[in-house]
Amino acid sequence: MKTIIANWKMNVGVRESVALARGTLLTLRGRKHLPELVICPPSVALSEVRKVVARSGALLGAQNVFWEEAGAFTGEISARMLQELGVTHAIIGHSERRHQLGETDEMVNKKVLHVLEHQLTPILCVGETKQERQAGKSKEVVLGQLKAALSGVRLRPSDHLLVAYEPVWAIGTGESATVADIVEMQSSIRSLVQEILGERTLSQLRVLYGGSVDGENAYGFLREKEVDGVLVGGASVKINQFRDIVHAACEVLEAQT
Ligand code: PGA
């Protein structure tokens, strides 16, 4: 199986989200072997996009979530509220939130625990900055973020965990990581998850890559056995690009059968 996450970020309003959701579903038409598709519109568009994706097989994700059930937390949205909107996945710890909104490892950990408690699937983002990479600290940083995020986590047999390796320097820059770098980092991520959560959880884990994935390079990532899917930002709101990414996944899946 391959998973494609469409992270629309703050790029589209409600009306545009509805149109984009329709276009996104059309990319699946006529293909036999489909990837799992998770659409993450801005939170204000979730309920309208839900109507479009209902009965399509595509899933709905939130771009963020808060860690408390309810209460005086102005502007925040809990997992329970997201569930009411048909959301099954939540992006947690995206680098834009870590770096522009001060989200810490501790906050990321609370969010992971909260969504799992509510049977939502976390899409946990981890990744190093350019400076950290240049200092030779990529693995240390990524595995440190992962370890902190999984503190106190216990997966039930029905839970799933998606980890997206997203080097910060590759997000929105047009400069993606090499396949070799991605495969190596993903194998370290798998080993650490196995160490922390136990070997049996490996079947519940999917490790994705994100960072300047587009219609041209997607196939190169997706054909790797170790790459369970891609998290797509910029190219997910450009329907021609996104169609090529979805079709790349379909081709990989078709070749496997
Ligand atoms: P990008 O964003 O595809 O535009 O690089 C990826 C992300 O932010 O998850």
**Identity of residue 24:** T
3-state SS, residue 9 = coil
7 lines ligand 1 (CB under 6 A): yes
**Residue 100 alpha carbon to ligand 1 centre in Å:** 15
Task: With cut-offs at 50, 70 and 90, classify the pLDDT of residue 37.
Answer: very high
Does residue 116 have a pLDDT over 90? yes
Predicted pLDDT at 257: 82
177 lines ligand 1 (CB under 6 A): no
Mean pLDDT of 107-132: 98
Predicted pLDDT at 16: 98
Taking the CA atoms of 52, 49, 93 and 197 in sequence, report the sign of the dihedral they define: negative
Does residue 9 have a pLDDT over 90? yes
Does residue 55 have a pLDDT over 90? no
**What is the tens place of the pLDDT at every residue in 95-109?**
999 999 999 999 999
Mean pLDDT of 82-86: 97
Q: What is the pTM of this model?
A: 0.97
Residue from 36, 89, 94, 247 carrying the catalytic annotation? 94
By the 8 A CB rule, do 3 and 228 touch? yes
Give the CATH fold of the 3-256 domain: TIM Barrel (3.20.20)
Q: What is the position in ligand 1's atom list of the atom closest to the CA of 234?
A: 4
Does residue 137 have a pLDDT over 90? yes
Residue from 36, 96, 103, 166 carrying the catalytic annotation? 166
Nearest residue (CA) to ligand 1, atom 2: 233
231 lines ligand 1 (CB under 6 A): yes
- How far apart, in Å, are the Cα atoms of 246 and each of 3, 12, 225, 230, 250? 10, 20, 17, 10, 6
234 lines ligand 1 (CB under 6 A): yes
Nearest residue (CA) to ligand 1, atom 6: 233
- How far apart, in Å, are the Cα atoms of 159 and each of 115, 117, 123, 223? 10, 10, 12, 26
Q: What is the position in ligand 1's atom list of the atom closest to the CA of 211?
A: 5
Mean pLDDT of 50-76: 96
Asked if 106 is an active-site residue, the reply is no
**Residue 200 alpha carbon to ligand 1 centre in Å:** 30
**Residue 7 alpha carbon to ligand 1 centre in Å:** 7
Mean pLDDT of the chain: 97
Domain ranges of the chain: 3-256
Q: CA–CA separation, 75 vs 221, rounded Å?
A: 37
Q: What is the position in ligand 1's atom list of the atom closest to the CA of 125?
A: 9
Task: With cut-offs at 50, 70 and 90, classify the pLDDT of residue 10.
Answer: very high
Asked if 166 is an active-site residue, the reply is yes
171 lines ligand 1 (CB under 6 A): yes
145 lines ligand 1 (CB under 6 A): no
Predicted pLDDT at 197: 97
Mean pLDDT of 63-90: 98
* Among 33, 53, 57, 44, residue whose Cα is nearest residue 9: 44
